Each structure stands twice: as C-alpha cells, then as structure tokens.
Amino acid sequence: MTNRKRVFWATTALFSGLLVAGAASAQSSGTVATEGATELDTVVVTGARTPSIDGVIVAQTVPKTRSSISQEFISTQSSGQTILQTLNLVPGLNFVNNDPYGNSGGNIRLRGFDGNRVSLTFDGMPLNDTGNYAAYTNQMLDSELIDRASVNQGTTDVDSPTASATGGTINLLSARPLEEAGVEVKATIGENNYGRVYLRADTGAFGPWGTTAYTTVSYTNYDKFRGPGELEKLQFNGKLYQDLGGNGNFASIAGHYNRNRNAAFFNNYTLANFNSGVEPLENDIACFRPFAAAGTVQDENTQSSRIRSDGSIASGNCTSAINLRINPSDTGNIRGQFSYALTDNLRFTFDPSYQYVLATGGTTTSLVSERDDRLDQNRLNNNSATGLSAITNAQCVTALYNTTGRDLNGDGDTCDNVHVYAPSVTNTNRYGLSTSLIWDLNDDHRIRGAYALDYGRHRQTGEGTFITRDSRPYDVFSTDGAPDQAVTGRDGSIYRFRDRFSIAELQQFSLEYIGDFFNDSLTINLGVRAPEFTRELNQYCFSQNGSSNVRCTTETPATTLASGNVTFASTGSTQYIPPYAAELNYDDVLPNVGAVYRFGGGHSVYASYAEGMSVPRTDNLYQPVRNTTDNSIDFTTVQPETTKAYDLGYRFRSSRLIAQAVLWYVEFENRIVQSQDNDITSPTFGFSVDRNVGAVKQQGFDGQLGYIFSDRFALNLSASYNESELQDNLFLGNFNCTTANQVAGSTPACATAPASTAIPLYLQTAGKTLVETPDWTFSARADWDVTENLSFGLQAKYVGERFATDVNDEISDAYTVADMDIRYDLTDAFGIRGAYVQLNVNNLLDEDYLGNISTGNNGLSSVVTTDPRVPAATANRSGSARTYSLGSPRTAQITLGMKF
C-alpha cells in the first residue's frame, strides 16, 4: 500500500534548471523542460514525483492556477472511466458524465467555459476538434496509462497550440515504459452487463541502448443504463522510449487507436418530467419499414411498425430505432517527442504528431420523398411542393408516378416516402508540430522561443444510404463503407444534406522568459504568444441566406437574382447563396505573464494575467450573409471571442499539508454559449447550437486543501465559487413597420409610422447569470489505509443550482453525488506481484439528479420590447421548456488485477 510519508520528497536540495522529461505535467516537451526551472524546491529525478497527497492534490510551483492529479489517485477510480470524470474533484472544473462508465461522453465546464473553450491536450498534442473545438471525452487514453492530468484554470501555457482556449487547458501526460519486463492484466465486471479487459506488456530495457517499450489493448462492452442499446470500445496503445545519454535527453514515439461503437443517445427530460417522476420512453427496441407495394403509397413516416422501449407496439417512423441512434468513431494518432541538450545551456525540443478521425456527430434518418426535386433534377414541374399526402393510390398507377421522380424502395412507382440513413460524417487528417529552443542564460535566467503548427483537413458530409427493412445501416459511416448503398438521383448525384471541405491552419510563435531573483524567492514568467489562424471554407451546397440551412442539389435554380442569390421551384421565395469558397484570417498577440514569491518556509503567493482568443467555429462561419451593399458574402457577423483573465493566489506546503487558494476575474467580449440539440424531431438533431450573448464578466474563488492526519488517513477538500454577469441584452432582430404590417392590423402607432421604421427586439439578458454554470461546487475525498492490505476511499461532489436559459427563468436543482472505492492487496494470498481486487460504487447514495442541460434563450414567455407600435404577439417571445439528461443511478463494478 502507499505510505503517505513518502509523498513528500526531500525539499532542501535544489535542482534548478534540471530538464527531465515527465517531471512536470505540461503541454509539450518544451514546456516540460522549461518548467523544470520553476520546480525549485522539488527534487526532480527520473521516476520521482512532485509532492502530492494520494495523488488527489499535487503541490504546484508555477505562477498560474493549476491543479493536478496523478496515477496514484486515478487508479482508485472505476476501471475504464473517462479521465474527465476522475478530474471532477479539481476546483473550478465541473464535468457531467452521460453514463456511469463514461463511454457516452459528457459535458465540461471550467470556470463557466464549455469544453469547446478549453484546450485538451495529450502529450502536448491538441485533441479538440479542428472544426468545432469539441472535446470527445469518451475517446480519451485508457486511464491506466495516464501518469498525470493537469488543469490550468483560466489560462494556457505560453506554447499552447490552440485557437479556442479562452477558458483554460486540460493536459494529459502518458506514462513511460517500465525498465523491467512484465505483463499487467485487469478484468472488470459490473452492473449493466459491464465487462472490461485491459492488458499491458512491457519489454523492459532491451538492445544496446537500453530502449524500453510497451503495448496495451483494452476492450469494454456494456448496456445503456436506460433503454435498449449497448456501448462498445476497443483501444490500442504503444510507446517506444529511448534515453539519449541522461541530462534529460530522450526521444519517444507513441501510437493510439480508439474505436467506439455506441448506441449513446438517451431521450431527455423536461423539469416537469423529472419533478413528476414520469419517465419519457427511450429509443425504440426495433422498427420495421412497410413492405414496398407497386401502385400504392408507402409512407414510412406513419406506416412503419415500432417496438417501443416498454415493449408496446406502435405505428409511426423509425427515427428512434436504436440501431440508427448510434455514435460511432474511429480515432488514432502518432506522437513523437524529442528533447536534446545541444550545449550545456541550449536545448532543442521537437514534437511532431498526426491524427486521424472518422466519426459521426450523431446519426438519425432522413425522410425522403421519391418526388423530391433533388432526386429528379431535370423535371420542369414541381411535384415536391405538392407533398406526399396529396398523392392517392389511384394516382400511383399513372404514368406520371412511374416515369418521373426516383424509385427508392424498388416497388416500381415514385409515390412513396422512404427512410434513408443520413449521418453527419466527419473525416479529419491533422498534422501538428511543437518545437522549442531553450537557452539558459545562467542558473537563474532562461529564455524560450517556440513555434507551433496545427494543420487540419476537415471533410464533412451528410450522404444518404439505404437501410435494411429492420432499420439497420449497411455501414455506420454511410457511403464511406457502403458506397454501393448510396441514395442517388436520376443524374447519379448522391442525396445529401451536408457537403463541405475545410482547412484549419494555426501557426503560432511564442516567446517566454523565466527569471529567479532574491536567492530563488521570486520567479517571474513573462510570455507572449502570437497565433495566426486561417480557415479555408469550401461549401458545395446552396446556403440559405443568413442561416445554417443548406440545400445540397444538382438541380437548376428556378431564378437567379441580381444579388447572385437563387431560388428553387420547390422552396418558393427562399433565397440561397450558391456554392462558394472563402478564406478567413485571424491573428492576435496574447500576453501570458505571472510571478510567484516564496517566503516563510512553505508559503508562496502568485499572480498571473493572460489574454485569450477563440476563433469562430466552422459551423458558425458556414452561415453566410449576402451583403446588400455590394452583393459580396459577408462573414463579419461572426467575430472571435476574447478574454482577459486575472488570478491572485496563495499556496502553502508543509510535511502534512498542501493548500492553494485563488481569487480570479475574467472579462469576455463576444461570449459564445453552446448547447446540444437533443430533440430527435429537430432537423439539427445531434448538432451543437451556438449563440452570442455579448460581453460577460466573471469572478470567483477556487480553493484546494490536502492534509495527512496520520500514515493511514488523509483528507482532500476543494471549493469553487463562480459569479457571472451578462453585460448586454441579446439582440433578436428588428420588427419593421412595413405597409404589410400596417394592413395586418398593427397598432395605430405603427400604422402612422414611416414604412421603413425598424424597431429592435431584445431579450432581457443584461445582469443575468451564464447558463449551466453552478455558483458553488464542493468536493471532498478521504483515503484510509485500514490495514497494510486494505484501503478505503470515499469522495463526494456537490454541484449548485444551474440556470438553463439566458434570461434565468428555468433552473436545475443542486445535487450531491458520492462514490466509494475499496481495494484489497492479494499479493500475499496468491504470491502474484501486484495482485488486488477493487470494488467501485458510483453514486453511492443513489441520488436523483439532472445532468447535462440543453440550454436556450428563455423557457417562459419573455418581453422583447415595450414599444407600443409592436403587436403583442411579437413583443412577447414565446418560451420553450429546456431538456436535461438524467444522472446515472448507483452503479457498482469489481476489478481483479495482477502483474507478472
């Protein structure tokens, strides 16, 4: 068992400037090397750790707010759990898991920032999606291989290769291979038919240079905790490490592959559902499409046979069929790291990487009429507008419904409405590089220059393929794996609802100075990074003006307007911008500075200031607006989000206590809020929806404390307070006193106004609190070594109330979730090195709570103007009840592990 007397190493020896890979938990090998200068009172040697208490709290010395956990704590958590759930005890961070084990993903909030505004890195390699910056928490590295995980609250490292991190960074550092050859095996079973196997094989030192390596494989499978469906994950990892003669010189190359096949979506609750105890039905167990029959109408929207989650039979459509409500992904990466001292005071680091992604953002079906003009592009008449309901069985046998349109179900007519599989497939090839040159002027002063490149090619399609009669796709990635099942029009073009190609390129130069003064009592860090970001957009569909709606078609437009916009016969007067290409550039110079002063034997104070920028997401930019002045396409309506973050903190460290407390303040401009569209009836189901809430000010407190009461008992506590205030009312648009409005019966005041009068409509958000951001969070963990072989851990997290709407008219209650772990060392009993059995129980008290929130503007009717010229129906904006995921119930698992 762990002896807590050994968590503090000798603190009198000083190894200032020692450059050891893995000594610090940081983004890149350059930052690892650079931050060696700040580990002034820690003995940093290969294999040693920074002082910590049970790995829950790790002593920090950097001049910024950072919290870390180590493998010592990670190993106590549920087998196979996402590392983000394990980090949930860290102050300032609130993570809401979608299921007990983490394979369904979850939601990150760090000081009120969503996961898209937090840079997630893996051995210095950025993991956030290049297009929308999403962090996919169910695709993380197996927790057994994470040596250290750190959270920078509110700031980045100076070399962070990110275009989105206004809220901070989460950094994962993978483990090194072992010097001794061996095999580790873990097997886990749990509730919901949970099963997981993990295997690691280390070569130990081999060859003439003492090279070390490992390879791992894990497989996880379990049932959803609500409704039908299962979740499956297969992961491979490997790492080769070569020491290059000591002095911190090394080279390594690592590989990672993760395959998810998840029926990951749950139907959400409203507050009314939750408070009444009425559970909505989950996804359908199965769904059968109607048999095709020539000369009659098959409407699969109403005639399909459903077996609902409660076993009842119903007619309707197959949108909710569990075999179609899936979220598959294949991801992989190769990571290289190289650090070498060119001279006694000059070091060079070089970290290249490559990433591959093939994934869907959530899949569903698209209901396609065989009369759709996108399938019969050359017809002069417009039968799409007629609608399927107007077609009778008698008409079905006429020549019109046999020679035009597109027969999709093979019955010989074109009268039908047919389901097709229509996932949003994203294929990314991403190349990265982080390199540094570090110059030690002397023992007290260091300068680093760094360069980072992040280049991503992002192909996004929404091509339709046929499905089986029992509603199964031929391939989870649509036409990527089943091109012969593509739904095509008469001209051979593939039916699709999304078709675009993007390039995201970040080039960043950064410069950093670290200096120690007054006998190493004061460390000053002065840094600046200058990111230059380019987005290349290629839209192959027609875009609705000022909207994300597109029409992907090869049909000839009905009219071409003077502005360049077009209309189609089947869509009436709706204007579309033809396919286009554009290149947008963003750049900034962002300071990142801090200072730490140490005094009185273990005391220190620190302060930091950092500026951040988040470049607009791809989805936001693919909403072009036609400029009415010069008929150009205007992208200036979407602007980068910028932040200024200030931290003032205090730390203390003694032989039994580690403590940190910080006051922080953040100013936002152009704050973007994101929510997930989880309404399966929505045309944007599975996609995130953004809205700009303008300027925001936030301030708060983060505190963390760990105390060793005895060699066998330790306690760790953390607390966070977050106060946010929106500065502006949200502009919704204008009400125009046009002639049409006057005739329609507007109030007399509008009737007498000039026809061009525009009356702005605002949602009253000024002074409100940010959505989905709890005011208070508290966490606690107690570790007790009952005997030399038996250990016990108990932890809990309290999450305060969270608003679900921008106007704060709907709120989710506070909740507390407790977890327990018990571990018994079996080495003596079985004579097998490292043998143990571990029991984990999540949500020990079986708390009922609401998890992730699909946020929005307003839940109730809200006044958007008091101007008497505006009709009441427009002056009051109707609300929409928000939806919530349901928190996981009490869940237990047991793990048997051993090493050979």
**What is the per-residue pLDDT for 50?**
59
- For 682-699, write each residue's pLDDT tens digit: 333 334 445 556 788 999
**What is the per-residue pLDDT for 683?**
36
Those residues whose C-beta lies under 8 Å from the C-beta of residue 134, and which sit 6 or more positions away, are: 115, 116, 128, 688
The residue among 37, 139, 147, 154 whose CA lies nearest residue 90 is: 154
Output the DSSP codes for 378-393: T-SS--TTT-GGG--H
**What is the per-residue pLDDT for 20?**
28
**What is the per-residue pLDDT for 774?**
94
* pTM of this structure: 0.90
* Other C-beta atoms lying within 10 Å of the C-beta of residue 268: 22
- For 774-826, write each residue's pLDDT tens digit: 999 999 999 999 999 999 999 999 999 999 999 999 999 999 999 999 999 99
**What is the per-residue pLDDT for 140?**
93
**What is the per-residue pLDDT for 40?**
30
Length of the chain: 900
The Cα–Cα gap between 776 and 701 comes to 10
Burial of residue 827 (CB within 10 Å: 0-12, 13-18, 19+) is middle
For the record, the structure tokens of 712 come out as 């066998």
- For 396-422, write each residue's pLDDT tens digit: 877 777 777 889 999 988 889 999 998
User: 112 or 249: whose pLDDT is higher?
Assistant: 249
Which run of H or E residues covers position 875?
A: helix 872-875
In sequence order, what are the beta bridge partners of 720?
702, 777
The Cα–Cα gap between 755 and 736 comes to 8
Least confident of 140-149, 317-326, 714-723: 317-326
CA angle 679, 683, 687 (to 5 degrees): 70
**What is the per-residue pLDDT for 428?**
96
**What is the per-residue pLDDT for 247?**
86
- For 846-881, write each residue's pLDDT tens digit: 999 999 998 888 999 999 988 877 878 888 888 889
Which run of H or E residues covers position 440?
A: strand 425-442
- For 420-449, write each residue's pLDDT tens digit: 998 999 999 999 999 999 999 999 999 999
- For 476-490, write each residue's pLDDT tens digit: 999 999 999 999 998
**What is the per-residue pLDDT for 94?**
94
Those residues whose C-beta lies under 8 Å from the C-beta of residue 388, and which sit 6 or more positions away, are: 297, 299, 369, 371, 415, 416, 417
**What is the per-residue pLDDT for 60?**
85
**What is the per-residue pLDDT for 131?**
87
Q: Is the pLDDT of residue 35 over 80?
A: no
Q: For all residues of the chain together, what is the average pLDDT?
A: 86
The residue among 224, 206, 226 whose CA lies nearest residue 214 is: 206
Backbone angles phi, psi at 145, to 5 degrees: -100, 0
Least confident of 329-343, 393-407, 530-544, 697-711: 393-407
**What is the per-residue pLDDT for 673?**
56
Q: Is the pLDDT of residue 676 over 70?
A: no
- For 706-762, write each residue's pLDDT tens digit: 999 999 999 999 999 999 998 888 888 888 776 555 544 445 566 566 656 788 888
For the record, the structure tokens of 444 come out as 């007290």
Least confident of 26-30, 433-437, 563-567, 729-733: 26-30
Please report which confidence band the pLDDT of residue 172 belongs to, taking 50, 70 and 90 as the band edges: very high
For the record, the structure tokens of 723 come out as 């106060």
- For 216-243, write each residue's pLDDT tens digit: 999 999 999 999 999 999 999 999 999 9
Whether residue 243 contacts residue 210, with contact meaning beta carbons closer than 8 Å, is answered with yes
In sequence order, what are the beta bridge partners of 783?
714, 793
Whether residue 245 contacts residue 251, with contact meaning beta carbons closer than 8 Å, is answered with no
- For 592-609, write each residue's pLDDT tens digit: 999 999 999 899 999 999
Please report which confidence band the pLDDT of residue 19 belongs to, taking 50, 70 and 90 as the band edges: very low
Please report which confidence band the pLDDT of residue 616 belongs to, taking 50, 70 and 90 as the band edges: confident
